[in-house]
Amino acid sequence: MDFIHQLCSAWDKNNSLLCVGLDPDFERLPTSIQGSDAPYFSFNKEIIDATADLVCAYKPNSAFYEARGATGIQELQLTCAYIQENYPFIPIILDFKRGDIGNTNQQYARFAFDYIGADAVTIQPWCGAESVQAFLDYKDKGIIVLVRTSNPGAKEFQDLEVNGEKLYISVAKNIRDDWNKNGNCLLVVGATYPNEMRKIRRLMGDGMIFLVPGLGVQGGDLKEVLKAGLNSSGSGLIINSSREVIFASKTNFAEAARAKAEELKNAINERRGSL
């Protein structure tokens, strides 16, 4: 099953637009987990088992694992393999944000898809279509392109005027018109910029899916995100929450993560049901 169909299946099976980011930080792990042979995998496994019926995707951020060297990368691989073996209907988005010339991107793509086993990756578009092609050639994978990011500094470049329009609009149009020949492109559009999200939704129509970071700690407003980003079917979004879920508590952390994930899932569904 390709990524888009897998995602749609997870949306329906769990009735959820919620994605949980698996971004472990060693200093924030419970002491009992810190002492295990594979602390990141042990932590992730409990989070996954506690939330697998509440999410539409998991999103490990590669940086947290790379920082631990070979051990961390092995734990990332173990995490993805665990999801695929035990919850194969839930897609894995590797938050990767890579973007380089073509032959380098070929190696990044091989690492993400062939070695780690991700179903989708985030990438940056700044080297142009030639370099992105290495990812797009994986027709069954999701290629999620940074368009309007959630950080406060996004305006520095993404709001620059290019041929009379904002740069982020130009990037979105390129993806829509030129890059999405295989129908496997998605966009990163941050929750902290609902007005920009609304413009992008109008440009993209119903078919394009947005990965939405920036709720919770970063301050995005859920109601505004849903009003701006949902398509006419009340779907089309992957709404990510990382720290707010996985670090909900150090005490009974898996149960606390489940409670927070359930709260977010229900809040999303209640609000999209009222729009």
What CA–CA distance (Å, rounded) separates 100 from 121? 14
CB of 138 closer than 8 Å to CB of 113: yes
- DSSP code for 44: H
Per the annotation, the verdict on 223 as an active-site residue is: no
| Sign of the Cα pseudo-torsion (91, 96, 101, 107, in order) | negative
What CA–CA distance (Å, rounded) separates 11 from 86? 17
Instruction: Return the structure tokens found at 23.
Output: 């971004």
Q: Nearest-CA neighbor of 108 among 150, 62, 139?
A: 62
Element (H, E) at 93: strand 93-98
- Set 13, 45, 59, 97: catalytic member: 97
3-state helix, strand, coil in the chain (%, to 5): 55, 15, 30
What CA–CA distance (Å, rounded) separates 91 from 120? 8
Residue with tokens 């368009």: 147
Burial string for 30-41 (b: 16+ CB within 10 Å, else e) reads beebeeeebbbb
C-beta pairs of 5-9 under 8 Å, 24+ apart in sequence: 6/89, 6/91, 6/119, 7/56, 7/57, 7/91, 7/142, 7/209, 7/238, 9/89
Please give the positions annotated as active site.
97
